[in-house]
């Protein structure tokens, strides 16, 4: 998810111990603290501040570790789509250089329902993976009814399945990919961003470029992370439609970030299932 500037955490143990101070949360995602919804919402729309839902999640044992929102010039930023990543205050599930998270998405302009999804934070590259709906059901709650209780209950339910997520990650770490398999994974991944290969303007193998030595592995989880980072953060050289050499842009849309991340997880799950 790459919208407002990322909160840069340290790596490894320090990164896993960090929580997001309230003032930083307000700075990076002011929509969390909106006092009302967009005035164009219908009478059926129930406005419940994200901060109220966040309070419920924190009372249930979660802590916020990252927040951001969509940047827009034409609309009020207090209504914009926003996302908060949370972890359990005391995590018992251990992953190698990674930690499971709960991802909470919302908006106050009608562009997004309340959503709770599962994710993984990887300290090596501060990547924020998002698990697909197919792997672990996401909760989507309309802006009406007892939203707080529904969101908190689903977040707790997802967190109780962190051990299943950890087992899946371990299977990915054990699954070695040959060079041909890595290229095939990159080819499929590239279509998530450029459905028409002719518009990509780059070789899929470029998504396998390592940005650090920790990503040199040929296991499925390492390949997934390399491809995810290159696909979302951009920076790779490609040919535009008119033949100019340009840089792949960073994905700044929360909606696109979630869509591509989920698609990548499904591709990795397909490899495991093959």
pLDDT, tens digit, for every residue of 242-253?
A: 888 999 999 988
User: Where is average pLDDT lowest: 54-58, 141-145, 206-210, 229-233?
Assistant: 141-145
Average of per-residue pLDDT across 220-245: 90
With a cut of 60, say whether residue 13 has pLDDT above it: no
Report the chain's mean pLDDT, rounded to a whole number. Answer: 85
Q: What is the mean pLDDT of residues 18-42?
A: 85
Side-chain-side CA neighbours of 130 within 13 Å: the count stands at: 26
Place of tokens 């990076």: 28
pTM for this model (two decimals): 0.85
> Tokens 């908006």 identify what position?
107
* 162-214 tens-digit pLDDT: 999 999 999 999 999 999 999 999 999 999 999 987 889 999 999 999 887 77
SS3 of residue 86 by DSSP: strand
Give mean pLDDT, residues 247-267: 92
Query: For residue range 125-163, what is the model confidence (pLDDT) as tens digits?
Result: 656 788 877 677 777 877 777 788 888 999 999 999 999
Q: How far apart are CA 122 and CA 177, in angstroms?
A: 20
Residue found by looking up tokens 């924190």 in the block: 58
From CA 185, how far away is CA 188, in angstroms rounded? 5
Query: What integer pLDDT is reported at residue 224 of this predicted model?
Result: 94
Average pLDDT over residues 220-228: 93
Q: What token pair was written down for 271?
A: 């490899």
CA–CA gap between residue 45 and residue 248 (Å, rounded): 38
* Token code pair at residue 229: 């980072």
Contact 262, 14 (CB under 8 A): no
- The region of weakest confidence among 66-75, 214-223, 253-262 is 66-75
C-alpha to C-alpha distance for 232 and 215, rounded to whole angstroms: 16
Helices (DSSP H) in 109-193: which residue ranges?
A: 147-159, 162-174, 179-193
Determine the pLDDT at residue 142: 74
* Residue pointed to by tokens 């908060």: 84
Q: Are 83 and 1 in contact (CB under 8 A)?
A: yes
Q: Which residues contact 197 (CB under 8 A, 6 or more apart)?
A: 190, 191
Using a 10 angstrom Cβ sphere, with 0-12 exposed, 13-18 middle and 19 or more buried, the burial of residue 74 is: exposed
What is the pLDDT, as a whole number, of residue 73?
65
Whether the CB-CB separation of 204 and 190 falls below 8 Å is answered with yes
**214: its two tokens:** 């920790």
Residue 52 gets which letter from DSSP?
A: H
Q: What is the CA radius of gyration of the chain?
A: 19
Q: Which two tokens stand for residue 117?
A: 């999804």
By the 8 A CB rule, do 163 and 118 touch?
no
| Residue where the block lists tokens 């490899």 | 271
Reported as a single tens digit per residue, the pLDDT across 59-90 is: 999 999 999 998 876 578 888 889 999 999 98
DSSP 82: E
CA distance 200 to 187: 11
Question: Could you tell me if 110 and 45 are in contact, meaning their C-beta atoms sit under 8 angstroms apart?
Answer: yes
123 Cβ neighbours under 8 A, 6+ residues apart = 9, 11, 12, 15, 16, 97, 98, 99
């Amino acid at each position: 998810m790459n919208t407002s500037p990322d909160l840069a955490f340290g790596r490894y143990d320090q990164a896993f111990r960090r929580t997001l101070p309230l003032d930083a949360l307000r700075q990076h995602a002011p929509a969390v603290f909106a006092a009302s919804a967009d005035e164009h919402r219908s009478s059926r729309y129930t406005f419940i501040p994200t901060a109220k839902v966040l309070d419920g999640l924190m009372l249930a044992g979660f802590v916020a570790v990252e927040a951001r929102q969509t940047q827009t010039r034409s609309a009020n930023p207090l209504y914009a789509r926003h996302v908060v990543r949370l972890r359990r205050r005391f995590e018992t599930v251990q992953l190698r250089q990674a930690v499971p998270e709960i991802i909470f998405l919302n908006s106050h302009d009608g562009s997004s329902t309340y959503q709770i999804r599962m994710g993984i934070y990887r300290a090596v590259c501060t990547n924020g993976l998002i698990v697909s709906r197919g792997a672990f059901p996401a909760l989507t709650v309309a802006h009406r009814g007892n939203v707080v209780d529904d969101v908190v209950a689903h977040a707790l339910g997802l967190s109780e399945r962190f051990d299943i997520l950890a087992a899946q990650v371990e299977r990915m770490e054990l699954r070695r990919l040959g060079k041909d398999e890595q290229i095939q994974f990159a080819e499929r991944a590239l279509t998530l961003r450029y459905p028409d290969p002719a518009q990509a303007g780059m070789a899929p193998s470029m998504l396998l470029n390592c940005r650090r030595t920790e990503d040199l592995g040929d296991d499925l989880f390492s390949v997934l992370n390399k491809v995810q980072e290159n696909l979302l953060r951009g920076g790779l050289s490609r040919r535009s439609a008119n033949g100019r050499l340009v840089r792949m842009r960073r994905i700044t849309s929360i909606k696109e970030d979630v869509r591509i991340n989920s698609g990548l997880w499904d591709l990795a799950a397909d490899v495991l299932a093959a």
